[in-house]
């Protein structure tokens, strides 16, 4: 396997997918029947060595769902330098869905978006694929339901914002990295209770820093628990690799919080 850095991210020059097995300490390539799309869909999975697939009574494990960037795939993001090393060190399961294809945007740009041979409901299928893989993983493994985290890079960062906001009672924390998101941050009101770590390079030519700054400013305004890492002279790719340990450190500090509910007004 050869890894190469390009403007669009980490590229595998050659790929040798692992068999669909339940092994620990290695990256696994799996498939499932994506009925809504009428096709088999791949995803990747990493189980730390301390996880025992045969022991249903073992302690529950935290889970990170990792969303890849545009023109990328699950094989690439799960091989980001340091990701599985940190997962092993801190005892996390990591799963990376495809999001239907390399340009589905996880529903963050609406239900449509299909071009050429793409299905017309590409965005809808992209989002559904993520949620399907999450459901499969939760059913198969001993997952700590209070420690399910969502991270994503570039397009995947936008997906992390979108799915975080759409499913506010699911996530224990979010980590949008250089997030490509084309909407206003007003919707953060829905996830005031979710801790968020944002990573962004100030010299990013693909996803300008101004967008991340707007979302961070809104988090400050709402009093959200958050951490913002703005990398001086940082571009689009290396900022993700270099800050993976800090993302795990942040996730380690936070479990799922109950969503704040407004109390009905008392009748006089």
Q: What is the pLDDT of residues 190-218, one digit of tens each?
A: 999 999 999 999 999 999 999 999 999 99
pLDDT digits (tens, 9 = 90+) for 157-182: 999 999 999 999 999 999 999 999 98
Task: Give the range with max mean pLDDT: 6-10, 62-66, 118-122.
Answer: 62-66
Q: Is the pLDDT of residue 93 over 80?
A: yes
Contact 170, 258 (CB under 8 A): no
Read off the pTM: 0.89
Residue 56's pLDDT band, with cuts at 50, 70 and 90, is confident
Mean pLDDT, residues 53-81 taken together: 96
Half-sphere exposure of 130 (CA within 13 A, CB side): 31
Amino acid 112: pLDDT: 87
Residue 6's pLDDT band, with cuts at 50, 70 and 90, is very low
Residue 117's pLDDT band, with cuts at 50, 70 and 90, is confident
pLDDT digits (tens, 9 = 90+) for 211-235: 999 999 999 999 999 999 999 999 9
Mean pLDDT of the chain: 90
CA 68, CA 211: separation in Å to the nearest integer?
Answer: 19
Q: Is the pLDDT of residue 152 over 90?
A: yes
Amino acid 5: pLDDT: 45
- According to DSSP, the β-strands at 226-231 and 27-34 are unpaired
Question: Residues of the chain with pLDDT > 70: what percent?
Answer: 88
Question: Burial of 8 by CB count in 10 Å (0-12 exposed, 13-18 middle, 19+ buried)?
Answer: middle
Element (H, E) at 229: strand 226-231
Q: Which domains does the chain have, with CATH numbers?
A: 2-252 (3.40.50.1820)
Amino acid 254: pLDDT: 97
Contact 199, 243 (CB under 8 A): yes
Check residue 59 and report its DSSP letter. Answer: P
Token couple for 263: 């109390």
pLDDT digits (tens, 9 = 90+) for 231-256: 999 999 999 999 999 999 999 999 99
Amino acid 116: pLDDT: 81
């Amino acid at each position: 396997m050869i890894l190469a850095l390009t403007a669009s991210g980490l590229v595998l020059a050659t790929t040798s997918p692992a068999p669909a097995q339940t092994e620990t300490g290695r990256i696994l390539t799996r498939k499932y029947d994506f009925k809504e799309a009428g096709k088999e869909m791949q995803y990747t999975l990493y189980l730390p060595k301390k996880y025992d697939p045969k022991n249903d009574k073992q302690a529950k494990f935290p889970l990170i769902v990792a969303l890849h960037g545009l023109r990328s795939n699950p094989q690439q993001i799960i091989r980001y330098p340091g990701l599985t090393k940190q997962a092993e060190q801190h005892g996390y399961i990591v799963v990376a869905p495809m999001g239907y294809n390399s340009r589905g945007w996880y529903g963050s740009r609406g239900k449509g978006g299909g071009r050429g041979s793409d299905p017309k409901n590409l965005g809808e299928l992209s989002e559904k694929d993520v949620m399907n893989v999450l459901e499969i993983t939760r059913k198969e493994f001993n997952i700590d339901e209070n420690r399910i985290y969502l991270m994503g890079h570039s397009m995947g960062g936008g997906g992390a914002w979108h799915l975080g906001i759409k499913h506010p009672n699911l996530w224990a924390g979010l980590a949008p990295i250089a997030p490509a998101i084309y909407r206003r941050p007003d919707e953060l009101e829905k996830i005031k209770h979710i801790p968020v770590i944002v990573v962004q390079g100030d010299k990013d030519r693909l996803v300008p820093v101004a967008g991340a700054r707007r979302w961070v400013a809104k988090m400050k305004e709402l009093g959200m628990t958050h951490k913002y890492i703005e990398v001086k002279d940082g571009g689009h790719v290396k900022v993700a690799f270099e800050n993976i340990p800090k993302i795990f450190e942040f996730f380690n500090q936070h479990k799922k919080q109950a969503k704040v509910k407004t109390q009905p007004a008392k009748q006089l």
